[in-house]
Amino acid sequence: MKKYYLILLIIIGVSCSREEENLEPININLVTGIDIKEFQESSPMRLGNPNTLNYNKFFVFPNPVRNNLRIKSIENMTDIWVLPATASKSYKGTDFQKLLNSELYSEKIINDKSILKFNDLEWTEISLAIESLNSGYYKVFVKINGNIFWDNIYVSNIGSDLNDLINYWK
């Protein structure tokens, strides 16, 4: 009888850890890649496998960004949030189109975790001063027509070499 309990405990333990592994790719503070882009019209250079959801509803540039991040949208943006993030190359084969959707993160969680907030907007274009942010990865969340979309950026305050960024994602 004790063997059955032990086997049951092992099965429960393994199934719980697998569930946690499956949830990791949708961690709100995770960046799995970025699109390098100097201008809105520029063709992006994809690094990694970006866990972004924007359906071309908005564009962030330049990326990487040093002082001012520009965001352009095809429709009015009402809210923008910037959250610190951590990069991981662990999800190169993950199909984020199947995992990500506009309802994935609640507005309350995004708001609570954000370090920059711009609310009650009605703009299709904005330039955000981000020089107060430390160098590193961030997620930019944008609310358009009641739906939340996001993109990943890299802030470079120390003039880091673009080649270093590219080499990290190889």
18 by Cβ neighbours in 10 Å (0-12 / 13-18 / 19+) ranks as exposed
Inside any domain, residue 49: yes
CATH number for 120: 2.60.40.3080
Tell me the CB-side half-sphere exposure of residue 157, using CA atoms within 13 A.
9
- The identity of residue 50, as a single letter, is P
CA atoms 129, 46, 104, 13: torsion sign:
negative
Q: Give me the domain span that covers residue 121.
A: 29-169
SS3 123: strand
pLDDT tens-digit readout, 3-47: 544 444 444 444 443 333 444 889 999 999 999 999 888 889 999
In a domain, 81, yes or no: yes
Q: Which residue has the higher pLDDT, 73 or 42?
A: 73
The type of residue at 95 is: D
Looking at residue 5, its pLDDT comes to: 47
- 68-87 and 136-144 beta bridge pairing: antiparallel
pTM: 0.84
Is residue 109 included in any domain, yes or no?
A: yes
pLDDT band at 157 (very low <50, low <70, confident <90, very high): confident
Residue-wise pLDDT for 97-152, tens only, equals 889 989 999 999 999 999 999 999 999 999 999 989 999 999 999 999 999 999 99
Evaluate whether residue 1 is within a structural domain: no
Counting Cα atoms < 13 Å in the Cβ hemisphere of 73 gives 25
Does residue 7 fall inside a structural domain? no
Helix (H, G, I), strand (E, B) or coil at 120: coil
Query: Is residue 9 situated within a structural domain?
Result: no
For residue 32, the one-letter residue type is T
Q: What is the pLDDT of residue 161?
A: 79
| Cis preceding linkage at 64, omega within 30 | yes
Which of 120, 127, 122 shows the shortest CA–CA distance to 75?
Answer: 122
What is the tally of structural domains in the chain?
A: 1
